[in-house]
Chain A
């Protein structure tokens, strides 16, 4: 299995451990992730605040490059994934805009046709590789570890008329395949605040507090995320939440690929576990779990 891999800007900086662990876990499962050459930013949400057509053009360039490479494209960040999927779907219907954008893309020797699939990294693992194959590849069962499956928003929405977006279970399936226990996490599809952490800090902090409270109430050992922005919000702002709300959260927040990687026998250090501000290292090695 080979895919065009679109890491996205966050995975080069704050989300480095996501990038590293995604590549390692994929390789272990026989998947080749070929990084899209010279990719540009997906536009995040901010570009849509300025100009919609330019925002679609950013994604169209990346999509056209992955078409040229002849592979389906995989995005680990939910924001990038949402933007690429929306542009792909929209330009297949709006032929006038597609022609307009294609005239512009000629300046870079590219053309968009919309012939490929856009996948989230989780989709690639759960649907294309398959839960059963993952289960068979687990060499280090994470039995005893209680994991809160956090989906966030844009991996699910706006995805109209597809699978269950109100109560999805694919992340629970993936966690169970590693031997860990996916705890019931009622807020699993609620918002982490996204970029409001920068533009409306108190609002985002409230949402983060809710998510942490829920995970702690369910006695989760850690939270797994599928998006770099969710990870940063939930992890790096715990201290600030504690100060604002008088709480004492110290919950590790890992990428699903790090938990998967551990189960596949990849060493913690290689997965960059320990690059978090509150390290879960002790927890993963706890004698209670090994007993």
Chain B
């Protein structure tokens, strides 16, 4: 009879590349939540998320919008007295959700990240205007108008490039990425 592979184990494995401590050393002090600039917008604080992972509340964690409110400011990470890399844990949870295609209904982050990565693989560079459709329609008509206006103002000031750049050795670049894991692009 194999041992049960819990949600906590899965998260631990997703944080595999890290030097910090596993989340089971958390003492629930709440320093992370108190340091978090966006905690008031989260449905569960970072401290609660850690407790929920340890309680194997998989669905509740995966469907929480906390993960998508994290701005990657690393306040929690540098202050955690137990040296848990909490920002990295949020990245791990984002990967988990995106891979499984299961996340909070209002999250724009997954689509944005997917488009971003596709663009990098295609050109080697990031280009803001190409990313705008990934989010601006989600904010309704107002969002579209605001983004168009901002885009035009920046364009007039010479701050938006008309044509996205592609790196010179793009073929080599794709072959490098393909060597790491085949990602479905021809090298």
Contact = CB atoms under 8 A, between A and B. Distances in A.
Contacts of A54: 177, 180-181, 183
B126 interface: yes
Nearest to B149: A239
Contact of A57 (B41, B108, B177): B177
Interface string A61-73: 1000000000000
A49 B159 contact: no
A50 B113 contact: yes
Measured as residues with beta carbon below 8 angstroms from the partner, the interface class of chain B is 35 or more
A93 interface: yes
Given A51-B95, A104-B176, A191-B71, A13 B181 contact: no
Interface residues of A, number: 66
Interface string B71-97: 111110110000001010001001100
B172 A158 contact: no
Interface string B153-187: 11001111100010111001101111111010001
Contacts of B181: 51, 53-54
Contacts of B150: 236
B135 interface: yes
A160 interface: yes
Interface stretch (B4-12, B23-31, B45-53, B114-122): B114-122
Contacts of A41: 120, 124-126
Contacts, number: 184
Contacts of B187: 107
Contacts of A51: 95, 117, 181
B19 interface: yes
A281 interface: no
Nearest to B114: A50
A158 B68 contact: no
Given A40-B167, A275-B159, A49 B113 contact: yes
A200 B179 contact: no
B87 A53 contact: no
Contacts of B59: none
Interface string A39-58: 11101111111111110111
A108 B173 contact: yes
| Secondary structure type dominating chain B contacts | helix
Nearest to A274: B157
B38 interface: yes
Interface stretch (A21-29, A95-103, A138-146, A172-180): A95-103
Interface stretch (A114-122, A201-209, A246-254, A256-264): A201-209
B167 A38 contact: yes
B34 to A, nearest CB: 13
B141 interface: no
A236 B154 contact: yes
Nearest to B134: A198
A49 B167 contact: no
B149 to A, nearest CB: 9
The 3 closest A-B pairs by CB, nearest first: A104-B179, A157-B74, A191-B73
Interface of B: 17, 19, 37-38, 41, 68-69, 71-75, 77-78, 85, 87, 91, 94-95, 98, 107-110, 112-114, 116-117, 120, 124-128, 131, 134-135, 139, 143, 146, 150, 153-154, 157-161, 165, 167-169, 172-173, 175-181, 183, 187
Given A43-B120, A90-B17, A198-B131, 14 more contacts: A16-B158, A50-B114, A57-B180, A61-B176, A100-B180, A107-B176, A107-B178, A107-B187, A108-B172, A153-B72, A194-B71, A198-B112, A200-B109, A275-B158
